[in-house]
Structure formats: C-alpha cells, structure tokens
Structure 1
Amino acid sequence: MNTTSQFETQTKNLIDDLKSVCANYGLGNDGNEFKIITQVFLYKFLNDKFVHEVKQIDASIAAADDWEKAFRALSDDDREMLTLQMSESTATIHPDQLISSLFDRQNEPKFADILDNTLIDIAKNNSDIFSVITEGGEKIVLFENISKYVTDKRDDFCKAIINKLVNFSFENIFHEKFDFYATIFEYLISDYNSNSGGKYAEYFTPHAVAKIMARCLVQGEVSNVTCNDPSAGSGTLLMNLAHQIGEDKCTIYSQDISQKSSNLLRLNLILNNLVHSIPNVVKGNTILDPYQREKNGRLMRFDYIVSNPPFKLDFSDFSADLDTKENHERFFAGIPNVPKAKKEGMAIYLLFLQHIMYSLTEKGKAAIVVPTGFITAQSGIDKKIRERMVESKMRAGVVSMPSNIFATTGTNVSILFLDKQNKGDVVLIDASNLGTTVKEGKNQKTLLSFEEEDKIIDTFNTKIAIADFSVVVSYDDIKTKNYSLSAGQYFEVKIEYTDITADEFTSKMNAFESNLEGLFAEGKTLEVEIQANLKSLKYE
C-alpha cells in the first residue's frame, strides 16, 4: 500500500470512528449527526493545519522535544507575530484551544462546556475569513455548541470525541492534492448525501459529470478569473473547475438556498486550499434574490459558470414576485407556469438557465446539467432559450449523457456548454450508449470508464465528427433543424445497397408476392372464423 493510500485509509477510519461515537450516544442516522461529524472533522483539520504552519515557520519549535511546550513558552507578542506569518487559509488557534490541550483537560468538571466554548471561541476569532453569509448579511460561523445534540452523558460524549481525534494527524496529508481530498469529502458526506425529500439540488454531482464539465470548459492556461455556481450544493462542480484552472488563479462565488449545502461547500473550500473564496459563499435564493452585485447594484458577471440546478421545484410562493421590470432582461424567455395539479413540477431549471446566460461576461463560458428533453422541445420557454443561444452565437456544444448517470433520478440528462466567444461550429455528442450499469442501493447507476470520459472530452475539445457518436454543425445547421441540439438528429442516415442481377430481382419479387398471397388467404380464413364465433356467442 502506498503512502497516499495509507493516509486515505487512516482518514476514512477517523470518520468511521467519529460516526461510531455518535452511534454509541444515540445519534446514529440522526439528522444532527451530520452537524457533529462535519464540524469535528473540520476542527481537527484546522487544528493540525495550524500546528503544521507553526512548525514550518519556527524551526526551533519544530525541532523541540515537546513542540507544544515550546510554543506555549512564547510571549503573547511572539505568538502574534508567528500567526501573522501564516497563510490566510490557516485558522488562528490559541494554545488552550488545541486538541492536545483539551485532551489533557478531559477529566475536568463540565468538559462538554469546555469543548463547546472552545469551538465557539475559535469560530468567533476567525469569523472574518471563515464565515458563510446569508443574503440578509448575517454570518454563519464555523462552529456551534455540538454537545447540545446529546441528551445524556454530554461530558462522556465529548471525551470520546477528543480521544478519537488526538491519535490521528493530518500533518502528513497537507501536501496531497485535489483527487485525495475529493475522495475524502465524498466519503465524509456519503451517509448524508440526500436532498431533504427532493426540495433542494443534490449535494453531490458524480465525478464523471464534474470532470467532463471542467475539462471541456477550461482549455489552455487561464488566470485571475471568476467562477460561479448559482445552485452550488456541496461544491463538487466548483472544486473540479477550480482544480482545472488552478486554485490560486481563480476566485469562487456561489449561492444556494440550503444552509446545509453552504456549510458543506465551506468545508470543501477549506480542504481544497480555497479559503480565500469563503466570504463569497452565500446562503440564499439565487432566483428570487441574487446576492452578488457590482457597486452600482448591477448583477455580477462571471468568467466561468457551472451548475447542476434543481430540475423541478415548487416555486409558487415566489413566482409572481419574479415578474418585475428588473427581471425582464434576466428572464427574457419567460417564467415557467406553476402546474395546478402538481406545484412541485414547476420547471425551475429554466430560470437558472436564463440567469446563467445573463450572468456571463463577454468572454464567459458555462456548463449546465439539464433534462435531455430540453434540447429538442419544440415550443415554449425551452425553445425560446435555445433560439437565443443560437441567435447570440454563444453555443459551444452539448453532451447527452447515458441514462442513470445520476443514481437518484431516472431523468436522462445532457450537459449544455456555452461560450460567448464561439462564433464558429458547435459540437454535439451522443454519449448515451456509453457506460456500464451497476446497482447502487435500490437504484441502477451508469458508470463511465476513464477511457470513455476521455473520449467525450477529447471529442468535444477537438471538435471531431465520429459516426453515431458526434457531429460538428454550424449555427445555420441548427436553425434548419428547428434549433434542435440533439446529435442524433444530425447523424447521416445510412442506406446499404446490394448489387443483384435482373433474374435475382424477379425471383425476390415473386417470393414477396407469394408470401403476401399466403398472408391474405390466412387473414380471410381468420376473418371467417371470427365472424362464426361472434354469431355463436350471439345466440347462446
């Protein structure tokens, strides 16, 4: 087993140990378990990052037999100078707030209060950098009182948590890159990856989809760009995009209506060295009240936008509020009707699509997951949006994905790619026949191999036509097909011809005629039998 695999196994074991503690105190599969696990995991990560930075900056502390004793021996001024030299992604932690200090104090009375107060104080001291904000301007800080979720033996619970944390260290893992942390993050949230009864967007987008979106969007070197997801969830799409660009070459902005999603995104940003973007994470309703604006009040424009928006959602409480003068340009194709019989069937993704088109800079690019039905709809808002994309020459391409690429939905999906600088050809890919079907829980899921992922990405980026897989079309071609973006409608119809002699042709035709005569005769016989049966039934 290589070193990375060992770290991965050890980190997953820590997560399992924390879940085991929760289960032992009656919180297994409890809704509050998620809050405890993610906060405790984050506390441990930030604690070890702080220790790592201290040792990197001060060689004497790193070389000391007891580094913590050497650190405590520093004067307050020296400790402050040391913390000022740390990277902005490192939380400031007082010696008494270190996990090792809490471990030494675990037998003191009311230990639960000690742990809770430590977490709350760390959150307050680092509020400016690590807080997520709401659309109303309120700060959602890093930590809260975690022992409140335990009804009995709170001190014992907190001791058990600290004892699991103290014997593990992230210090040898900080050099690991995106793929490692993506795996850990997925494992961490795997038991909590639900969307609360379907009300919010999924928290996790499959890696294959996120990878294809990022690598088709970002080609070549880019720097100093802005990235956005208006329905960010846990940030899987944004993390893949930032990794493809370079975490130090982009700034992330996001908004999501779910506080749970916003907290997960914050955790993802911390793990992936994107702490500088945390102040841009907003908990709020993008469609009704988009938060990110310029100083003049105009909505911000972004260089890259990725999104896997909710497809359908009950938006009836806000629908009428969207019909304002300010929104006429943003929602140029209209606001979807609220179905009378099934309000939760409102096609909310059409609003996200229009919002994304409106939010791109003049050189902007976007990748959006949509129901495959959108790319061929022949009327309504769907078609108006496609018409605008073509008339404005902002299409880059479409990839129609295999069915069940998302295990949680049977809806077939496609990825729309926009590029406001693409005035040339558009590539359409039908990847629906790729992948292998596997069972995931009660659901079927389609998995793409690395080779299949690369085939999609390479075909898209090189704009090559492959029989029954991809076509390269012009904007005029799309207009003649009634703005359809389905690759299948552009595939060549193949007719195979076979040379035969006149005698062979006559023989085949005679055989067809003979066969038809036999079928007609059989049909007449059956008709007579049916009529006879009907008469007998009539007289019975």
Structure 2
Amino acid sequence: MTTALQFEKQTKALIDDLKSVCANYGLGNDGNEFKIITQVFLYKFLNDKFVHEVKQLDPKIAEAKDWEKALRAYSPEDYEMLTMQMSESTANLHPDQLISSLFDRQNEAKFADIFDATLLDIAKQNSSIFSVVTEGGEKIVLFENISKYVTDKRDEFCKAIINKLVHFSFENIFHQKFDFYATIFEYLIKDYNTNSGGKYAEYFTPHAVAKIMARCLVHGEVSDVICYDPSAGSGTLLMNLAHEIGEDKCTVYSQDISQKSSNLLRLNLILNDLVHSIPNIVKGNTILEPYHKDKNGRLQQFDYIVSNPPFKLDFSDFSADLDTKENHDRFFAGVPNVPKTKKESMAIYLMFLQHIMYSLKDTGKAAIVVPTGFITAQSGIDKKIRERMVESKMLAGVVSMPSNIFATTGTNVSVIFLDKQNKGDVVLIDASKLGTTVKDGKNQKTVLSHEEEDHIINTFNNKIAVDDFSVVVSYDEIKAKNYSLSAGQYFEVKIEYTDITPEEFADKMKSFESNLANLFADSKTLETEIQNNLKGLKYE
C-alpha cells in the first residue's frame, strides 16, 4: 500500500472512530453529530498543523524527547516571537490548548467544561482570520460548546473524543496534495447529505463535473485573480478551480444562504491551504442581498465564476422585492412569476444565471450547472438569457452531461461556459452517452472514467468537431436555430445510399405492399371486434 493510501485509510479510520463515539452517546445520525464531527476534526487538524510548524521553526523542539515540555519552557516573549513567524494559515494556540494537554487533564472535575472552554478560547483568539461573516456583519467563529449536544455523561463523552484524537497525527499528511484532501472531505461529509429536506447535491458537486468545469475555464498561467461562487455549498467547485489556477495565485469569494454550507466551505478552505480567503466567505442571500461590492458600492466583478445553483426553490417571499431600479440591469430577463400551486418549483437558477452574467469582468469566464431543459426552452426568461449570451458574444460552449451524473437528482444537467472574450466559434458537446452506471446507496449514479473526462476537456478546449459528440458553430448559426444550445440539433443527418437493381427494387415494393395489405386486414378485424364488444356492453 502506498504512503498516501495508508494516510487516507488512517484518516478515514479517525473519522469513523469519532462517529462511533457519537453513536455510543446517542448522537448517531443526529443532526448535531455533523457539528461535532466537523468541529472536532478541524480542531485536530489545526492542532497538528500548529505542532508541525513549531517543530519546523525550532529544531530543538523537533529533536526534544518531550517536545511539549520544551515548548512550555519558552518565555512569553519568545513564545510570541515564535507564533509571529508562523504562516497565516496556522491557528495560534497556547500550550494549554493542545490536545496533548487536554489528554493529561481528562480526569479533572467538569472536564467537559474545560474542553468546551478550550475550543471557545481558540475560536476567539483566531477570530480575525478564521471567522465566516454573515451579510449583517455577525461573525461565525470556528468552534462552539461541543458537549452541549450530549444530554448525559458530558465529561465521559469529551474524554472519549480526546482519547480518539491523541493517538493519531496529521503531521505526516500536510505535504499531501489536493486530491487527497478532496477525498477526505468527501468522506467526512458523506453521511450528512440532508439539510431540512435538502439534497446532498446542495453541498457536493461530483468531482468529475467540478474538474471538467475548472479545466475548461483555466488555460495557461494565471495569477492574481479573484474567483467567486454565489451559491457555494461546500465549495467543491471553488476548490477545483483554485487548485487548477494555483492556491497561491487566486483569492476566493463566496456567498451561500446556508450556515451549514458556510461552515463546510471554511473547513474545505483550511484543508486546501486557502485560509487567506476565509474572510470573503459570507453567509447570506445572494439573490436578495448580494454582499460583495467594490469601493464604489457597486456589485463586485470577478475573473472566474463557478456555480451549481439550486434549480428550483420557493423564493416567493422576496421575489417582489427584486423588482427594483437597481436590479433592472442585473435581472435583465426578468423574475419568474409565482405559480398558484407548487411554489417550490420556482426556477431560482435563472436568477443565479443572470447574477453571474452581471458579475463577470470584461475579461471574465464562468461555468454554471443548469438543468438541460434550459438550453432548448422556446420562450420565456430561459430564452431571453440565451439570446443575451449569444448577442453579446459571451458564450464559449455547452457540455450536456450524462443522466444521473448527480446521484441525488434525476434531472439531466448541462454546463454553460461563458467567456466575455470569446468572439469566435462556440463548441457544443453532447456527453450524454458517456459514463458507466453504478449503484450509489438506493440511487443509480453515472461515473465518468478519467479517459472520458479528458475526452470532454480536450474536445472543448481545442474546439474539435466529433461525429455524434460535438459541433463547433458560429453565433449566427445559433441564432438561426432559435438560440438552441443543444449539440444534437446541429448534428448532420447522415443518409446511407445502397445501389440495388430494378428487380430488387420491385421485390422490395411488393414486400411493402403485402405488409401494408396485412396490416389493413388486421386493423379491419380489430375494428369489427371492438364494435361487437361495444354492442354487447350496450345491451347489458
């Protein structure tokens, strides 16, 4: 087994152990289990990162038999100097806040209070770097009182947690790359796939889709750019985009109405060395109250935007509030009407699409997941949006994905790619026939192989026309097809001609005539039987 696989196995085992502790104290599959698991995991990660960096900065501590004793021997001034040398992505901890210190104190009275107070103090002293803000300016700090979710035996619960943490170390894992942390993050949240009836897709976009979006957006060397997701969920799309650009070459911005999503995204940023972007993570309603603005108070514009917005949602409570003078340019195609029944079917993704188009710089690029029905709708807001994409020459292409690429929804999806500098041809890809169907719990899921992912990416980036798979069309051709963005509508109809003799032609025609005569006879017999049956029913 490779070292990376060993670390992956050990890390997943830690997550399983933490879930086991929760189950033993009555929190298995409880809504609060998610909060405990993610916060404890984060505490462990930040603890080990701090210890790792201390050892890197001071070889004496790294070589000491008892590194914690050596650390405690620092004078307050020297300790402050040590912490000032640390990277900004490392949380500042005191020796008493280390997991090893809590392990030594586990038999003290009211240990749960000691445990909770330690987490709250860490959150407070690191608030300026690690807090997520709300649109109202409130700070959501790193940690809360963990033990409050346990109704009985709080001290024993916290002891059990500490005993699971102390025998595992992240120190050998910090050199691991993006794919490792993406796998760990997915494993960490896989059991928490609902939120007030919501779906896992709300928080997690399949890596195949995220990778295709990132690699079709980013070409060549890119630096000093700002990336944005107005409906970020857990941040899978942003993580893939930042990784493709280079985590040190971009700054991430996001907004999402769900506090759960914002906490997941913060965890994802910490795991993926994007701590510098945490202050830009906002919990709030992007459509009603977009948060990110420039120094003149106008909505901020971005170099790259990625999004997998909710497709349908009841936003009737605030839809009327969107009809303002300030919003006329942003929502140029209009706001969906509130249906008399099934308000939850309101197409909120159309609002996100318009918001994204408005939020792109003149050189900006975007990739947005939409229901495939959007690309061919014959009228309404959908068509107006497509018209704007074509008329303003900002459409780069479309990739229609296989069905069930998202295990939690039967809706077929496509990815719209925008590029405000694309004044040339547009590439349309029909990837619906790709992939292998696998079982995913109770659902069926389509999985793309790495070769299929590369096929889509190479076809898109190189604008290649492939029979029954992709077409390269001009903006004028799209206008002529009523602004349809479905690749299939541009495929050439192929007619195969076969040479036959006059005798063979006559035989074929006789065969057709004979078949037709038989079909008409069968039809007459059926008609007679139906009439007789109807007469019988009438007399009864």
Partner of 1:353: 353
Q: CA deviation at 1:503?
A: 2.1
**What CA deviation, in whole Å up to 9, does each residue of 1:197-231 have, x standing for no partner?**
13896111111111111111111110000000000
In the alignment, does 2:473 pair up with 1:473? yes
Partner of 1:283: 283
Structure-2 separation of matches of 1:323 and 1:463: 39
**What CA deviation, in whole Å up to 9, does each residue of 1:385-416 have, x standing for no partner?**
00000000000100001111111111110000
**What CA deviation, in whole Å up to 9, does each residue of 1:453-472 have, x standing for no partner?**
11111111111011111000
Partner of 2:207: 207
SS at match of 2:309: coil
**What CA deviation, in whole Å up to 9, does each residue of 1:98-157 have, x standing for no partner?**
111111111111111111110000001000000000000011000111011111111111
Structure-1 separation of matches of 2:286 and 2:449: 35
Give the letter aligned to residue 445 of structure 1: K
Give the letter aligned to residue 396 of structure 1: A
Q: CA deviation at 1:443?
A: 1.2
**What CA deviation, in whole Å up to 9, does each residue of 1:146-189 have, x standing for no partner?**
01111111111111111111111000000001000000000111
Partner of 2:75: 75
Partner of 2:338: 338
Q: CA deviation at 1:528?
A: 4.3
Structure 1 pair 60–311 and aligned structure 2 pair: CA distance change class (3 A): same
Q: CA deviation at 1:506?
A: 2.0
**What CA deviation, in whole Å up to 9, does each residue of 1:349-370 have, x standing for no partner?**
0000000000000110000000
SS at match of 1:244: helix
Structure-1 separation of matches of 2:18 and 2:369: 35
Give the letter aligned to residue 100 of structure 1: S
Q: Check whether the contact 1:195–1:201 (CA below 8 A) recurs between aligned residues.
A: no
SS at match of 1:311: coil
Give the letter aligned to residue 149 of structure 1: Y
Structure-1 separation of matches of 2:97 and 2:505: 92
Q: Check whether the contact 1:428–1:470 (CA below 8 A) recurs between aligned residues.
A: yes
Q: TM-score, normalised by structure 2?
A: 0.98
Structure 1 pair 526–69 and aligned structure 2 pair: CA distance change class (3 A): closer
Partner of 1:86: 86
Structure-1 separation of matches of 2:49 and 2:537: 88
SS at match of 2:53: helix
Partner of 2:459: 459
**Structure 1, 512-521 or 372-381: larger mean CA deviation:** 512-521
> Structure 2 matches for 1:392-407, cutoff 5 A?
392-407=392-407
Give the letter aligned to residue 434 of structure 2: L
Structure 1 pair 197–527 and aligned structure 2 pair: CA distance change class (3 A): closer
**What CA deviation, in whole Å up to 9, does each residue of 1:317-355 have, x standing for no partner?**
111110000000000000011111011111000000000
Give the letter aligned to residue 224 of structure 2: N
Structure-2 separation of matches of 1:498 and 1:516: 23
Structure-1 separation of matches of 2:70 and 2:502: 101
**What CA deviation, in whole Å up to 9, does each residue of 1:261-318 have, x standing for no partner?**
0000000000000000000000000000000001110000000000000000010111
SS at match of 1:26: coil
Q: CA deviation at 1:442?
A: 1.5
Structure-1 separation of matches of 2:270 and 2:529: 79
Q: Check whether the contact 1:430–1:470 (CA below 8 A) recurs between aligned residues.
A: yes
Q: CA deviation at 1:524?
A: 3.6
> Structure 2 matches for 1:319-468, cutoff 5 A?
319-468=319-468
Structure-2 separation of matches of 1:251 and 1:355: 20
Partner of 2:144: 144
Partner of 1:234: 234
Structure 1 pair 193–514 and aligned structure 2 pair: CA distance change class (3 A): closer
Give the letter aligned to residue 111 of structure 2: F
Structure-2 separation of matches of 1:195 and 1:499: 64
Q: Check whether the contact 1:338–1:345 (CA below 8 A) recurs between aligned residues.
A: no
Count of residue pairs the alignment pairs up: 540
Q: Check whether the contact 2:406–2:445 (CA below 8 A) recurs between aligned residues.
A: yes
Partner of 2:132: 132
The runs of 5 or more residues in structure 1 that have no matched partner are: none
In the alignment, does 2:96 pair up with 1:96? yes
Q: Check whether the contact 1:394–1:419 (CA below 8 A) recurs between aligned residues.
A: yes
**Structure 1, 492-501 or 192-201: larger mean CA deviation:** 192-201
Partner of 2:167: 167
> Structure 2 matches for 1:185-196, cutoff 5 A?
185-196=185-196
Partner of 2:39: 39
Q: Check whether the contact 1:200–1:310 (CA below 8 A) recurs between aligned residues.
A: no
Give the letter aligned to residue 410 of structure 2: G
Structure-1 separation of matches of 2:124 and 2:416: 42
In the alignment, does 2:116 pair up with 1:116? yes
Give the letter aligned to residue 460 of structure 2: F
Q: Check whether the contact 1:194–1:203 (CA below 8 A) recurs between aligned residues.
A: no
Structure-2 separation of matches of 1:532 and 1:97: 90
Q: Check whether the contact 2:201–2:408 (CA below 8 A) recurs between aligned residues.
A: no
Q: CA deviation at 1:518?
A: 3.4
Partner of 1:507: 507
Q: Check whether the contact 1:123–1:141 (CA below 8 A) recurs between aligned residues.
A: yes
Partner of 1:156: 156
Q: Check whether the contact 1:201–1:231 (CA below 8 A) recurs between aligned residues.
A: no
Q: Check whether the contact 2:193–2:199 (CA below 8 A) recurs between aligned residues.
A: no
Runs (4+) off by over 6 Å: none
Q: TM-score, normalised by structure 1?
A: 0.98
Partner of 1:272: 272
Partner of 2:63: 63
Q: Check whether the contact 1:132–1:139 (CA below 8 A) recurs between aligned residues.
A: yes
Q: CA deviation at 1:44?
A: 0.5
Structure 1 pair 109–527 and aligned structure 2 pair: CA distance change class (3 A): closer
Q: CA deviation at 1:501?
A: 1.6
Q: CA deviation at 1:513?
A: 2.2
The runs of 5 or more residues in structure 2 that have no matched partner are: none
